[in-house]
Structures are given as C-alpha cells and as structure tokens.
Chain A
Amino acid sequence: MTSKKAHEHWDLKIRPSSPLFDLHLKDVWNYRDLLALLVRRDFVSFYKQTILGPVWFFLQPLLTTVMYVFIFGRLAGLSTDGLPQPLFYLTGIVAWNYFAECLTKTSSVFRDNANIFGKVYFPRLIMPLSIVVSNLVRFGVQFLLLICMLFYYIYFEGFSIKANIYLLLLPVMIFIMAILGLGSGMIISAMTTKYRDLAFLVTFGVQLLMYATPVIYPLSTASPAVKGIIAANPMTPVLEGIRIGLLGKGDMSMASLAYALVSSLVILISGIIVFNRVEKTFIDSV
C-alpha cells in the first residue's frame, strides 16, 4: 500500500517550504495572459480615472524639467556638460522616473494587492512584472516627448548631435533599469511586509538615491572622491549611456555598463528568491 502510494503521480504538492531555487518560472509563463490583461487594466483605468488622462504623462516630466532648469540650472548653476539644460534634465527625469516608479510600485506590491492575494492563487511574480511592463508603456510615451524636444533643439536652436552607435544600446539600458527596479523593489517588498516601518523609508530612499545618480549633474563634474561612490551605483552608467546615445555627451565605458548589467541581474535573482519566500506566508501577516 505504502509503496504503491509512493509511485502515484500527484500534480501538485503543497508543503510548508519549497527548494530555495524553485522560482516557479514555468508557472509564470502559464499565466502570461494574465500579465497582458493586468497591463491593459492599468492603462485603461488610468486613462478613464483622470480628467487629463494621457496628458498627465507629458505634463509631469515637463513641469519637473522647468523646475530643475530654474533651481539647479539658474539658481545653483550646476554644469550640464555644455548640453542645453531642458534636454539634459528631461533625459534624466524620463529615465529616472521609469526606474523609480518600478521600484516604489514593486516595493508596495503586497500591500496594494493584499485583497487579491488573500483570495486567489496565481504566481505572485506576475504582479511586479505587470508593473514593470505598464510603466514601460508610460516610459515609451515620455520618451517620445523627449525625442520631440530633441528635434525642436536640432531644427530651431541649431543643436547638433553626432548620431552614434551608443543609441543601439538603449534597449540594454532600459532592460537594466527594469530589472534593477524590479529586483530591488521585490527585496524591499519582502522586508516591508515583515517590518512595516521600512515602507516610509522607500520614497525617502529613492529620493536620496537620485542624488547619488547623475540625474541633475553629469558624472564628469563629480570630484574624484565622490566619483567612486557614484560609479558604484548601477544606475550611473545607464543614465550616462542614454545621454551619450541621445545627446552625444556622457561618461560611460563598456566595462561600467557590464558591471551595471551583472549587478542588476544579481539583484533581480535575489529579489525573485526573496519574493517567492515571502509570498507563501505573507497573507498571514496582513
């Protein structure tokens, strides 16, 4: 009897814990339709809920750019590497927004979806993935705005760019931003479900991190002592790289980009592992 049972085939075994590296990626693939529908939901509901709708996508980076030009450009007089200030800041803002949104939204994914997570099973990883993809759409729209501004500067202000090979690296840059935001967001989400007060630190932390990334200043102006710290930030080569590709000026080497890619992948994988650990018992602590 017992020996017969051992050979029986079971489709699913629910146990207290599963192997550390069982990432359920096959499960995630099976639910790919859900991912697409969630992205659609985010978009449709955003479009329907606000009066300004998609205009908001443009307004937010534009207003921030105006503010940065005034504060950091005029008042503080920070260098922009000789690039037109609006272009310089908008590039930084659009890229940083994408990363920051991925990170903050992912970090609160358990809290935001406690209701659904408590009622039905699906691979929890779908939720953060849908955040990254939804924000990618938003990033695309804002990127278009950036391109428009770039053309304005080329035709009306006589700004000349040297079209360069770095632009081809753009998909890699976006990929790094996505997985870095996703990975660190998931690690934080795991910590905040356990020790809630950490949630307050996230927005603050992201803001601090922005100043440790060349968003409002070029890496080239940083003093050698600080440069080492800033270069350790995987977001640094990404921002500098996007600037080289689009505007022709930046401080990025292939080695630093490789470093950013590898460290982001490490953060992503540890994020998934931590996330999968937490998702099993999270609902008990709500």
Chain B
Amino acid sequence: MDHVIEVSGLSKLYRLGEIGTGTLSRDLHRWVARAMGKEDPFLKIGESNDRTRKGSGDVVYSLRDIDFSIRAGETVGVIGRNGAGKSTLLKILSRVTSPSTGEVRIKGRIASLLEVGTGFHPELTGRENIFLNGAILGMRKSEIRRKFDEIVDFSGVERYIDTPVKRYSSGMYVRLAFAVAAHLESEILIVDEVLAVGDVEFQQKCLGKMGEVSKGEGRTILFVSHNMAAISTLCRSALILQNGRIDFSGDVHAGIERYVRSSKTSTGVVDLANARHHLCNFSKLRSVMLMDESGVVTSTLFIGNPFRLRISFELFEDVRNLEIGWCINNIQGVTLVGYVSPWEGFQTRFDKGVHEVECMVPFLQTLPSTYYVTVWVKRMGEKIDDEVERAIEFEVLSRDLNGSVTYFDKYVELNMFQHSSWSQINSSAS
C-alpha cells in the first residue's frame, strides 16, 4: 500500500533558559557565525534530550533524525516517556510548530486533536461552539451543518444544545468537544491523550468510534497515549520514542512489551506509610509490591498471565487467627474479585513483628483496563483492623489468548475473563 506520511531526517531543537533577555545578542552571534561561513554555534552544542542529566549546552534536541513512514489505513500508537518527544512530533505533524531540519510529506487532509474543545468559548451555546470548533479544526460551515445532527447525537447533550457551555459539566463539555472532532472528515487523524479526560463509558465510546473509523474508512490514525490498554486494542503498530530518537517501530504487541520491559519502575512497589489506614489496633500495613510471573516488579500486567502480590505488614502483638486479604477494584470502584489467605489454607499464626507474604495468582482474569488493589488485615471473623484502599494501581494489557485477536474493548459492561470450552451438541443445518 501507499505511504501517506513520510518523515525523513526530522529534528527539532529548543533553546533552554530565559527567553527575551540575551536573545538579541545570541541572534547576532548566530548571524555573525553564519556570515563568516562557520557552522551555527548553537546547532553544535545540541545533545540528546535526557532530562535526568543536566546538559552542558542550553540547546536541546527534542527530536533528532527521525525517519519513518506510515501506510494508508494504519493505526499507529506513539509510545514514550514524558519528554521523549511524542508531543513535539505530533506538533510538527499538525503544523503547530515547524521542524528545525528534515521534511515531512503528507498525502490527504490531516486533522489533529492535540486537545479537545480548542477554541470553545464559555459564553457561546453548544450549537455555536460546534460550529466554531469545527471551523477551527478545518471544517467548512456546510460540512458542519450536514453533520450537525450526527454530532449532537454522538455527544448525547441534545437537551442543552442551546445552553452556554459554561453551564455544562466537565463531562458534557468533553463529550461535545470530542463529538465534533470524531466527525472530522480527514484521511489522517492525529490524536494526543485526549482520552485522558471524560468518564470511562465515554472513553470506550470514543475508542470504539476511532477504531471503527480506522477499520471501516481506511483512515490513518496516529495515537499518543499512556494508556497501554487503549493502544493495544486500537493500534496495529507502534512507534516508540526515547530521548528524541526512534527506539522501536513495528508490531504493537512487541512494541508494548518492549516498552513495558524498559519502563519497569518502582511504581510496582508502593510504600503505605503515608496512605490512609484503618483502626490499626494490632497491625499496620507497610507496603505492597506487584510482580509479573518472572518476579519482575511492575504495574503493567498482561491478561491471562500469572502474577504475584507481596504484602508487607507489622503486628504489634502475637496473633493466632490472622486473615490477610486483598481484592481488585475497577475504576468505578466496583470490587471484582477477592483473595483471602485462610481460603487457601494459609497459616494464621503470626508473631509480633514485621512479616511479608506473597500471593500468587495463576491467571489474571480482568479485562484490559486500569484497576486498583485494596489490601486488608484482620482477625478471622472480626472487624477489619487495617485496610488500605487503592493501595496500588495497575494496568492490564490485552494479548491474544487463543492465537486469535480478541477485541475486549467491544464489551464495555464485562469485567472478567475466564477460560471456557465450547462444543457443538446439535445442529440442524438445512
């Protein structure tokens, strides 16, 4: 298939430090150097953008020699840590800023959504804002008029369409804004973490709409998100940026695995010293740690894989009938499944002191999304003594469970997956 985006030798550099003072002299310096036929002094000291090290020069490359191309109809997830250059790349592609060197070639109309509701005016009504926002995003008035009903329908705010948007709840605001954007007619769509806002139900609807668009109409999508679950369900390929360079480009699952492995951090361990505790008459939870099947600490897990939770707690006295438990809650706070130590015949006698226990779960059942773990300690049959809600947050990523692609995102109302076997009992084919 044809390439619709080609990027070659793309770089972007930024000057650090104060803007305004000293800029005039720096401009002169640069100009003099150029006039004398020397190399630009401020291009030379550029270095890769590693924020953890303080650079010696005050010019930083946000992107450096990026080359890639995207075919028509592809959905590409752009992944990278903060400061990796994702936003800069999207800004260049959407022409908000221009590159320092290199070239981008694009076929077809390009629409970018770096933010939802750009240009929304609080005093204007929903109807007026649909037109204004649509025009800012590049739609003609006639085009918006044609799609108006569809947009209002998608947003679900038809009752308030003639109310100024300053009276909208933030959820309604985002719904309306996204509805306009979702109806852009462009061959290429660039989306930056706009899904980070809005309620979960609407997020799923948006993901669905975007997926539908890319599969049905052959639209090309570039999608930046920290939500790996969203990327893995929506995108076919991934582009990983690291310190302004391309670290990986290819299949989305391989990409996410690579990214997750490289970003194993302490977020898989949470110290509960400052968390909100319960009674704490005889016990206190100290920390929780989440690990994947091979014992690597992480906060990103794949559906269907084994994982472990380590709980560390302190007892102020000897306890003869101790129960340790934890459960998984979804974002809405609904408890999905619980794990309790005595149910599995685990020991109940613990002496005064600090203890660490590990619970191994052979199969992660929750569908791709974000979840929380609540941990508690108590005497069996008595009230909870210490409990920390939302002790640790983790993300479940999708993976092919049976060798075939599974679209979990289509089943918004479902939470859990369990293996089942299917067989045919009867059939009366005619």
Binding site for B on A (CB under 8 A): 9-17, 31, 33-34, 36-38, 40-41, 44-45, 48-49, 115-122, 194-197, 280-281, 283-285
Contacts and interface: CB of A to CB of B under 8 A. Distances in A.
Nearest to B10: A14
Contact of A119 (B103, B114, B138): B114
Contacts of B81: none
B277 to A, nearest CB: 42
Interface in B295-346: none
A13 B136 contact: no
Contact of B106 (A10, A120, A281): A10
B99 A16 contact: yes
A17 B99 CA distance: 9
A231 to B, nearest CB: 33
A196 B136 contact: no
B182 to A, nearest CB: 15
Interface string B151-193: 0000000000000100000000000000000000000000000
Contacts, number: 109
B119 A116 contact: yes
A219 to B, nearest CB: 38
Nearest to B62: A284
Given A41-B132, A48-B123, A119-B115, A12 B97 contact: no
Interface string B77-113: 0000000000000011111111111111111111010
A285 B27 CA distance: 14
A49 B14 CA distance: 39
B131 to A, nearest CB: 6
A91 B109 CA distance: 48
Nearest to A9: B107
A38 B134 CA distance: 12
B118 interface: yes
12 contacts: A9-B107, A10-B107, A11-B108, A11-B109, A14-B93, A14-B104, A16-B100, A33-B135, A45-B123, A118-B96, A118-B114, A119-B118
A85 to B, nearest CB: 39
Given A13-B103, A13-B104, A44-B124, 6 more contacts: A12-B105, A16-B102, A45-B121, A116-B118, A118-B91, A283-B97
A89 B100 CA distance: 52
B20 interface: yes
Given A33-B135, A121-B95, A280-B98, A15 B103 contact: yes
Contacts of B137: 120
B99 A33 contact: no
A120 B20 CA distance: 25
Contacts of A37: 131-132, 135, 141
Contact of A280 (B6, B19, B97, B164): B97
A24 to B, nearest CB: 11
A115 B117 CA distance: 11
Contacts of A40: 128
Contacts of A9: 107
B24 interface: yes
B135 A34 contact: yes
B140 interface: yes
B119 A284 contact: no
Interface of B: 6, 14, 19-20, 23-24, 91-110, 112, 114-115, 118-119, 121, 123-124, 128, 131-132, 135-138, 140-141, 164
A284 B97 contact: yes
B313 to A, nearest CB: 47
A102 B21 CA distance: 28
B98 A14 contact: yes
Nearest to B103: A15
Given A121-B112, A283-B97, A284-B14, A41 B103 contact: no
Contacts of A16: 98-102
A48 B122 CA distance: 11
Contacts of A44: 123-124, 128
Given A13-B105, A16-B100, A45-B121, A283 B95 contact: no
Contacts of A280: 97-98
A279 B338 CA distance: 56
A31 to B, nearest CB: 7
A14 B121 contact: no
A12 B6 CA distance: 11
Contacts of B118: 115-116, 119-120
B42 to A, nearest CB: 13
Nearest to B91: A283
Nearest to B140: A33
Given A31-B135, A33-B141, A41 B124 contact: yes
Given A37-B132, A116-B136, A11 B106 contact: yes
Contacts of B136: 34, 116, 120, 122
A17 B103 CA distance: 10
A14 B91 contact: no
Contacts of A120: 94, 96, 112, 114-115, 118-119, 136-137
B350 to A, nearest CB: 56
Contacts of A45: 121, 123-124
B8 to A, nearest CB: 10
Nearest to B110: A12
Nearest to A12: B106
Contacts of A285: 19
* Most chain B CB within a 10 A radius of its CB, from A11, A17, A48: A11
Q: Chain A CB within 10 Å — which of B19, B20, B135, B138 has the most?
A: B135
A213 to B, nearest CB: 30
A195 B28 CA distance: 14
Contacts of B96: 117-121, 283
Contacts of B128: 40-41, 44
A281 B101 CA distance: 13
A41 B95 contact: no
Contact of B23 (A13, A15, A49, A194): A194
Nearest to A49: B123
Contact of A38 (B23, B24, B132): B132
Nearest to B24: A195
A121 B14 CA distance: 20
Interface-central residue, A16, A119, A285, by most chain B CB under 10 Å: A119
A218 to B, nearest CB: 41
